[in-house]
């Protein structure tokens, strides 16, 4: 890609990425604290959660530079966040912090789904591919976090719709671009739908049926 102009993000996209990075990094910090990781482990898990989904998206659509390379100050912010958490976060804080983090995590889900889909559409990806790129952006940071922490990714196992919320938000972005909505409005609508769906899931306790493979068993 030598000689190609570097990719840039609009101010709206940068803001979206920033809010989502903070929300996801905090969720990674909670998991790292629960696993009693050392300083290196905390930073790696928080970084994977914050940047993993977007980096995987960028690899798949051949987008350079990565967000965290283009905006390296976020690496310093991540290091500072990890240092503060290790100084002040204690076991008694885990449960209330985790409950509180459900809401910024829902926001991060919507924001990453919207921005990921928009970037893929800007790269001339087909609609279904763009939506999947948005879902990867939103979900796979948490998947990488859980894999590194040696557990089945919660996005696949707790049965509360998560990836499906991002998938729905991605299609809102596709529709908004097809209708030639302003970029900021399209991003807000897509992020809002995905976030709202996740909030409804959290408030209602709705779960997807698990696959019951027992002989003669149905879904549960």
Over its length of 220 residues, how does the chain's per-residue pLDDT go in tens digits?
Answer: 434 444 445 666 666 667 778 878 888 888 888 888 888 999 999 999 999 998 999 999 888 888 888 888 889 989 998 888 888 766 665 566 566 667 778 888 898 899 899 999 999 999 999 999 999 999 999 899 989 988 888 888 888 899 999 999 999 999 999 999 988 899 889 999 999 999 999 999 888 887 776 655 555 5
Does residue 2 lie within any of the structural domains? no
- Backbone phi and psi for residue 213, each to the nearest 5 degrees, phi listed first: -95, 5
Does residue 182 lie within any of the structural domains? yes
Does residue 214 lie within any of the structural domains? no
| Predicted structure pTM score | 0.81
The number of domains in the chain is: 1
Q: Please give the residue range of the domain that contains residue 78.
A: 11-204
State the CB neighbour count (10 A cutoff) for residue 116: 35
Does residue 116 lie within any of the structural domains? yes
Alpha helices in 37-90 (DSSP H): 39-61, 67-70, 73-88
CA 173-53-51 angle, 5° bins? 115
Does residue 211 lie within any of the structural domains? no
Does residue 97 lie within any of the structural domains? yes
Does residue 113 lie within any of the structural domains? yes
Buried/exposed 13-32: b ≥16 CB within 10 Å, e otherwise: beebbebbbbbbbbbbbbbb
Q: Could you give the CA distance from residue 220 to residue 218 in angstroms, rounded to a whole number?
A: 6
Collapsing DSSP to helix, strand or coil, 180 comes out as coil
Does residue 168 lie within any of the structural domains? yes
Q: Which two tokens stand for residue 28?
A: 């990674």
């Amino acid at each position: 890609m030598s000689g190609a102009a570097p990719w840039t993000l609009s101010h709206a996209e940068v803001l979206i990425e920033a809010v989502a990075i903070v929300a996801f990094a905090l969720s990674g910090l909670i998991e790292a604290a629960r696993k009693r990781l050392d300083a290196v482990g905390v930073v790696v898990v928080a970084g994977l959660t914050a940047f993993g989904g977007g980096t995987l998206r960028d690899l798949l659509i051949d987008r350079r530079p990565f967000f965290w390379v283009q905006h390296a100050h976020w690496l310093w912010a991540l290091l500072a966040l990890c240092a503060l958490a290790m100084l002040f976060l204690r076991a008694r804080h885990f449960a209330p912090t985790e409950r509180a983090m459900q809401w910024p995590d829902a926001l991060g889900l919507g924001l990453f789904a919207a921005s990921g889909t928009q970037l893929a559409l800007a790269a001339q990806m087909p609609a279904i591919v763009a939506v999947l790129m948005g879902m990867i952006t939103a979900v796979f940071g948490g998947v990488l976090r859980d894999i590194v922490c040696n557990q089945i990714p919660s996005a696949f196992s707790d049965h509360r719709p998560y990836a499906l919320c991002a998938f729905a938000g991605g299609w809102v972005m596709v529709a908004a671009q097809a209708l030639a909505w302003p970029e900021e409005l399209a991003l807000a609508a897509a992020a809002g739908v995905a976030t709202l769906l996740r909030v409804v899931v959290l408030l209602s306790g709705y779960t997807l049926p698990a696959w019951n493979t027992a002989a003669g068993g149905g879904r549960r």
